[in-house]
Amino acid sequence: MKIKNYATIYLVRHGRTDWNDKKLIQGHIDIPLNSEGKTTARGLAQELRKINFDKVYSSDLLRAKQTAEIVALEHQLEVETTNALRERCFGEIEGKSHHAFKKIDLILDNLDDKTRYSYKFNSDMTMESDEEMMSRFLTFLREIAIGNPGKTVLVATHAGPIGVLLIKLGLFAYKGYVHVDNLGYVKLESDGVDFFVKEMVGVKRKDF
């Protein structure tokens, strides 16, 4: 039987920012890493230094791009950025406290999985649903896998798309939410069609 030539993809959440510390909703707002974020990203670079990365991709938001650049420096690789790897757009609640999620969480927890996947809750309708976020994110991951068979790739991104991807792949139930630590990561193998989770670091499910 022929063995498929999978790409290995490390999905890494960005390092800490001041807005992480203040528990403010970042979304598409372009917040840089703080000093702790840069220091711990250098620690991750050391942790992953023996992995032979062939390419590095990143969300074009600064906090992810800076994380990718710190890790890529260890491997002397350039970082390719794209808005397809961005965090969810949270619309009008970006910049507000995480307390804004409480009302949303109560609504989401009472929806069936299909409805929740396409649900948009904010009044200006600019917030991305899980479905919209996955449409861009998963499409790009498939392109990476197809374009890099047999290679190992680093992808610096955000907690939202990583968490929803793991739910979509059946690793977590669609209740509560998937928490990804800053600099937590998921190791995947993919041929562009199927995705297999091989390792998770700093990832767990939390209840609302």
Active site residue 94: no
Cα 172 to its chain centre, rounded Å, is 15
Contacts of residue 130, Cβ cutoff 8 Å, sequence gap at least 6: 116, 117, 118, 119, 164
Residue 7 · residue 145 · CB < 8 Å: yes
User: Out of 36, 74, 87, 132, which one is annotated catalytic?
Assistant: 87
Nearest to 63 by CA among 24, 102, 104: 24
Active site residue 87: yes
Beta bridge partners of 97: 24
Pairing of strands 7-13, 55-59: unpaired
Q: Would you list the DSSP string of 63-106?
A: HHHHHHHHHHHHHT--EEEEGGGPPPP-GGGTTSBGGGHHHHHH
Q: Catalytic site residues?
A: 14, 87
